[in-house]
Amino acid sequence: MLADTDYVQWLSDLKQRYRQSQAKAAVHVNHGMLEFYWSLGRDIVALKAESKWGSGIINQLSVDLQNLFPSQKGFSARNIWDIKKWYLFYSEQFIKLRQPVAENLETKLRQPVAEVEEANRQQPVDDLDMPTKFAFVPWGHHIKICTRCHSLQEAFFYINQVIEGNWSRGRLEDEIKGDLFARQGGAITNFENTLPAHQQELAQEILKDPYNFAFLDIEKEHDEKQLEEALVSNITRFLLELGQGFSFVGRQMELQMPGGQTFYPDLIFYHIPQHRYVVVELKAVKYIPEFAGKLNFYVTAVDQLMKGEGDNPTVGLVICKSTDKTVVEWSLKDICKPLGVATYQLEEVVERTVREIEMGNQATHQ
């Protein structure tokens, strides 16, 4: 192998371009396969195949397709049932959206569902075109989404997350299990009064409530220092829970005032897509109004000492054990900096629900 610098650089460029071409080819192949699956599901629904040819038609279709295309995978009876379920999920969701509602359709769809082609809103539900962005999502991911999601908006939320974050199927399963869709943007904030209109929704979307800290190995009874140490020790998992685009800046970073006095906020992050610092204060107790005043000061300090010319306003976030919504809203009402308040959980929502049901059953039999 030549050691010439220009040759090495050229070889590196070729490697990168080849990988890009492989990725494009994979997307192209995936697109073609998904378009066929979509059309097959559409046919099964439109033809009312089971009513027309009997309940065994899916098994018969599977045998016939495998005989016609013996080298191709994806024609098992189970997969054909999944194909029907996939198309049926979206067609039924469009039916629901077309039913008379008091609210405006665009309001009901919001982003990202509004990205569905306008033509599809006018087509018969048994003749919908596949949204183009579906091509960027693997088939196995699609099945998880249509099986576990309850609305078009929720499904498109996870589709966008898979595309933007390049999620594995395991990551998708974890996030659906943790109900990321419901938690995203759930923190109580004062953004409406403290951020420009075009930034309010964007900033809201990067905060959750509650945060799922089930990945921490920590005692149920713990203090703020223990919580902070556990999160920093699991910073990679913590960043995943915070969401896409977060970069860890530091823990207990020294903020030195012009007069020499110093302060140490718990954690500082930078949200790369939104070009803003995010200051996080951890509280292992129920929220009290004093937390807002302290965080307001930290956000001001970061704006003064760290914020660059191209950065957007810093956002502050208190993550605490529990809250009273009215107390939070009143405490943020006259705060001048953009702040949010959210809670955290140390156990999986599913585990907690099962235990609550078991406790309820025990109480019933006592």
CATH of the domain at 223: 3.40.1350.10
338, pLDDT greater than 70: yes
pLDDT digits 0-9 by tens, 213-259:
988 888 888 999 999 999 999 999 899 889 888 999 999 999 998 88
> Of 158, 177, 196, which residue constitutes the final position of a domain?
177
Same domain, 266 and 126: no
Same domain, 35 and 114: yes
119, pLDDT greater than 80: no
Same domain, 200 and 313: yes
Bridge-partner residues for 263, per DSSP? Answer: 255
Name the 3-class secondary structure at 3: coil
Average pLDDT over residues 28-35: 82
Per the prediction, the chain carries an average pLDDT of 82
Closest to 224 (Cα-Cα) out of 319, 341, 345: 319
- pLDDT (0 to 100) of residue 126: 55
Same domain, 149 and 22: yes
- pLDDT (0 to 100) of residue 327: 94
Asked, for residue 356, whether it belongs to a domain, the answer is no
The answer to whether 343 touches 320, Cβ cutoff 8 Å, is yes
Q: Which residue is it, tokens 């590196």?
A: 12
**Alpha helices, DSSP H, located in 99-195:** 105-113, 139-148, 152-165, 169-177, 180-183, 191-194
- pLDDT (0 to 100) of residue 109: 41
For the record, the structure tokens of 121 come out as 């809103």
- pLDDT (0 to 100) of residue 52: 85
- pLDDT (0 to 100) of residue 194: 93
Same domain, 79 and 220: no
Asked, for residue 130, whether it belongs to a domain, the answer is yes
Asked, for residue 231, whether it belongs to a domain, the answer is yes
If phi > 0 it is left, if psi is from -120 to 50 it is alpha, else beta; for residue 137 that is beta
pLDDT digits 0-9 by tens, 41-83:
988 888 888 888 888 889 988 988 888 888 888 889 999 999 9
Asked, for residue 281, whether it belongs to a domain, the answer is yes
Same domain, 275 and 342: yes
- pLDDT (0 to 100) of residue 355: 46
Same domain, 273 and 142: no
Read off the amino acid at residue 93. Q
Same domain, 194 and 106: no
Asked, for residue 294, whether it belongs to a domain, the answer is yes
pLDDT digits 0-9 by tens, 255-286:
998 888 999 999 999 999 999 999 999 999 99
- pLDDT bin (cut points 50, 70, 90) of residue 201 is confident
Same domain, 26 and 161: yes
Q: How far is residue 40's CA from residue 86's CA, in Å, rounded to a whole number?
A: 10
Average pLDDT over residues 276-298: 94
Q: What domain count does the chain have?
A: 2
> Of 177, 208, 242, which residue constitutes the final position of a domain?
177
- pLDDT (0 to 100) of residue 7: 59
- pLDDT bin (cut points 50, 70, 90) of residue 22 is low
Same domain, 104 and 223: no
Query: Which of 43-57, 123-137, 192-206 shows the lowest per-residue confidence on average (mean pLDDT)?
Result: 123-137
> Of 135, 157, 177, which residue constitutes the final position of a domain?
177
Please give the residue that has the higher pLDDT: either 18 or 12.
12
Tell me the torsion sign for CA atoms 141, 142, 146, 151.
positive
Same domain, 25 and 74: yes
- pLDDT (0 to 100) of residue 138: 92
Closest to 178 (Cα-Cα) out of 138, 215, 127: 215
Q: How far is residue 302's CA from residue 286's CA, in Å, rounded to a whole number?
A: 25
Asked, for residue 183, whether it belongs to a domain, the answer is no
Please give the residue that has the higher pLDDT: either 117 or 233.
233
Same domain, 85 and 127: yes
Bridge-partner residues for 184, per DSSP? Answer: 208
Structural domain of 71: 5-177
105, pLDDT greater than 50: no
What percentage of the chain reaches a pLDDT higher than 70?
A: 80
Asked, for residue 362, whether it belongs to a domain, the answer is no
User: What is this structure's pTM?
Assistant: 0.64
Which phi and psi angles does 68 have, rounded to 5°?
Answer: -70, -35
Q: What is the largest CA-CA distance in the chain?
A: 84
Asked, for residue 364, whether it belongs to a domain, the answer is no
- pLDDT bin (cut points 50, 70, 90) of residue 117 is very low
Name the 3-class secondary structure at 305: helix
